[in-house]
Amino acid sequence: MIDLLARRSTGTWSLPRRAAAGAGGAVVLAVIVTEGLDTGFWPTGVATVVSGVLAVAGLVVPARWLWRAGTAAVVLSCALSVLTMRLSQRPEHIPGLVEMGALLLLMPRAVRHLGVVRAPVLAAGAWLTAPLVLLRLPGYEYGKVSAYGVPFFALAGVSMVLLGLYVRLLDGAREREREHHLQAQRLEYARELHDFVGHHITAVAAQTKALRFLAATGQPPGARQLDAALARIESAGAEALGAMRAMVGVMRRHQGPPVRPVHGLDDLRTLVATAAGAGPAVTLTVDPTLAVDPPPDHVGAVVHRVVQESLTNVRKHAAGATAVSVDVRRTGGSAPGVAVCVSDDAPGARRRPAPAGHRGVGLTGLGERVAALGGKLQAGPRPGPGWQLHAEIPLAAVAPPGPG
């Protein structure tokens, strides 16, 4: 709840959510302007509007700008309150309630995001500045302010600090759980690396031994036979090298979960059958040329992962879907590859799992897997009802080495 306003409208937000955020912002701005007009004195009215907007901005800006925006809001609000106390023109009804509420909400956000030095400074400043807003009222209101305001702000300050600490602890627990999960993935990946690449290396070794055996028996292979054998060795070695570089490149990334080379195109029918048994009907279309000339193992593994994640998202987020289509085909052109398209017919807008600060999970992790092989992934509403995910992976997929 603390950072609800801080979630900026990105491409993952649906149109209704953007409209709701815009309407909420307009209402808040209208209340701030109304409070400024209530002062009856245009200089303090303008200052009230600016101070209120700046206080709300402390809840909206990204966390990396929180210290600057929050400090500016606290300083301006405190200065305006002290100055208004010396003026004869004061607001009689609403001295800046939005500003005061924003300052209180600034406390848990500061405790959550800032360091051990800045967090208490900004939280204490906001706590002390918030009640000063009530001192902008006429002097005869001070009795009521002291009677009701002091207990309220004391309780509110303690509650906001505790709320910020609680959310900060939750963030730390989630981050530790995420790191533990990624580490477990990397360890599993390392165990599988030997078996996966070893398949290609074994083929190279076997064909090399066969050639040496023929040479040792006094029956060396002919030119054509030797060229064909060397071509097979070259192909197996290239696939092993490409797969190893792709997997190790992803594994070495700090936030990139490993691409697990466990399943491939041959397992798609089993995957689709399992998904259809637990959800809407699923139809699978696979380009016949992929069966005759299959892609490298690491490309097939990512194709399987794309379909698996898409079907999982359909079960989680497309309650009204009645049919799902999975299409896998080869793409031509100068850079041949494999295209995967998964679409459903769920009516209405649906939430998609791409929360900020949770990279490597859901669609974000899937995009990293595809990008690691030089491909691209797009997901979003399709024409008419439903959602569509489209991924393209080049057949010559070799990920760049990770940062060393």
Indicate the domain borders of the chain: 15-137, 189-251, 265-394
Is the four-CA dihedral 240, 243, 246, 249 of positive or negative sign? negative
Domain 265-394: CATH class, spelled out: alpha beta
Sequence-ordered list of residues with C-beta below 8 angstroms from that of 53, at least 6 positions apart, any chain: 29, 32
Q: What does the pLDDT read at residue 348?
A: 65
Give dist(CA 302, CA 365) in Å, integer. Answer: 12
Do 130 and 103 contact (CB within 8 A), yes or no? yes
Q: Report CA dihedral (395, 400, 401, 404) to the nearest 10 degrees.
A: -160
Do 252 and 403 contact (CB within 8 A), yes or no? yes
Helix 15-37 to helix 42-60 angle (10° resolution) is 150
Query: Which region holds residue 351: left if phi is over 0, alpha if psi is between -120 and 50, else beta?
Result: beta
User: Nearest to residue 241, comparing CAs of 204, 211, 190?
Assistant: 204
Unique residue bearing structure tokens 């192909």: 235
Which one-letter DSSP state was computed for residue 383? S
Question: In the numeric block, which tokens belong to residue 232?
Answer: 């097979």
Do 182 and 250 contact (CB within 8 A), yes or no? no
Q: What does the pLDDT read at residue 18?
A: 79
Enumerate the β-bridge partners of residue 325: 283, 343
Question: In the numeric block, which tokens belong to residue 23?
Answer: 């309407």
Q: What is the largest CA-CA distance in the chain?
A: 114
Q: Is residue 368 helix, strand or coil?
A: helix
Q: What does the pLDDT read at residue 258?
A: 45
Give dist(CA 360, CA 256) in Å, integer. Answer: 6
Q: What does the pLDDT read at residue 124?
A: 92
Q: How far apart are the first and last CA of the chain?
A: 39
Give dist(CA 345, CA 178) in Å, integer. Answer: 32
Do 370 and 364 contact (CB within 8 A), yes or no? no
Radius of gyration of the chain (CA): 31
Q: What does the buried/exposed string (b/e) look like for 170-209 if buried means 16 or more CB atoms within 10 Å of the residue's CB?
A: eeeeeeeebeeebeebbeebeeebeebbeebeebbeebee
Q: What does the pLDDT read at residue 373?
A: 82
Spell out the per-residue pLDDT of the chain, length 404, in tens. Answer: 444 444 443 344 567 777 887 888 888 888 888 877 777 777 877 888 888 889 888 888 898 999 999 999 999 989 888 888 787 766 666 678 888 889 999 999 999 999 989 999 999 999 999 888 887 777 666 777 777 777 888 898 899 999 999 999 998 899 898 888 878 777 766 666 655 566 567 667 777 877 787 778 877 777 888 888 788 788 777 777 776 776 666 666 544 444 444 567 888 888 788 777 656 788 889 888 888 888 887 788 888 888 888 887 777 777 677 888 999 998 877 678 899 999 888 876 454 444 433 333 467 777 877 888 888 888 888 877 888 899 998 887 554 344 33
Question: In the numeric block, which tokens belong to residue 122?
Answer: 């900004």
Q: What does the buried/exposed string (b/e) look like for 345-361 if buried means 16 or more CB atoms within 10 Å of the residue's CB?
A: bbeeebebbbeeeebbb
User: Nearest to residue 251, comparing CAs of 368, 397, 170?
Assistant: 368
